[in-house]
Amino acid sequence: MSVFWQRLVIAVVMIGGASVAAKIVDWRISHRTLAPEVATRYRVLRRTVFAAIVFVGIVSALLVIPGVRAVAGGVLASSAVIGLVIGFASQRTIGNVVAGILIAVSQPLRLGDEVEVQGTQGVVEEIGLTYTWIRTRDNDRLVVPNEKLASDTIRNSTIRSSETLAEATVQVPTEGLRATVASLEAEGEVYVTDVSGDTATVVVRRWVPGEGAAERAASDLRIALAERLSS
């Protein structure tokens, strides 16, 4: 076997070994049940470590070939110019990667959190190195660059608590209003928000556990209020 083929085989083995090592590390990191805040950090860490191992393996394998090594020497000699060109060309991508790491560390949102981004509500389904996927209530996917998430305002309904707020509004007569409010307090927190003539506007709020449960709980709450007012 010629020297060229020997070096080519070594390069292929090194790339294959790096891929296997990256998959083993990724499997070891992912093979555990974690809390949402820890799972978010681990998810981004997995992708960073996997990409770093594969990159180092490919570069190391290519440097085994003399021709590639000579080219690499020339590249390193002009690294300032190349780095400047690559920096301008990939500043958005690099910014998204850095923002993804910052999100994993500071955690303004986590996997499974119910959030509102750009006026769209949904549940955080995936946080990647460059993009974050949010599942909306219509089961669509809102894909947001991490750099935008790191710089925009995010409304997070579950970062402090896993409960969500269900709310229902009803119109009741002002006659016997105190008694009506007292009877509705069995369904949740009751607030009289407006009184106009013979009618009062009453808002009933109830905290419910679980992601995406607010709409169903609000529907059940309206039914319970209708039954209680009609009895």
Categorize the per-residue pLDDT at 201 as very low, low, confident or very high, splitting at 50, 70 and 90.
very high
For residue 114, the cross-strand partners are 123
- What per-residue confidence (pLDDT) applies to 223? 85
For residues 82-106, average pLDDT: 68
Q: Which residue has the higher pLDDT, 171 or 128?
A: 171
> What proportion of the chain, given as a percentage, has pLDDT over 70?
66
How far apart CA 229 and CA 204 sit, in angstroms, is 13
Flag whether pLDDT at 32 surpasses 70. Answer: no
Nearest residue to 148 (alpha-carbon basis) of 123, 131, 125: 131
CB-based contact 203:105 (threshold 8 Å): no
Flag whether pLDDT at 86 surpasses 60. Answer: no
Residue 157 DSSP SS3:
coil
- What per-residue confidence (pLDDT) applies to 136? 86
How far apart CA 110 and CA 157 sit, in angstroms, is 11
Other CB atoms within 10 Å distance of the CB of residue 122: 22
For residue 133, the cross-strand partners are 126, 143
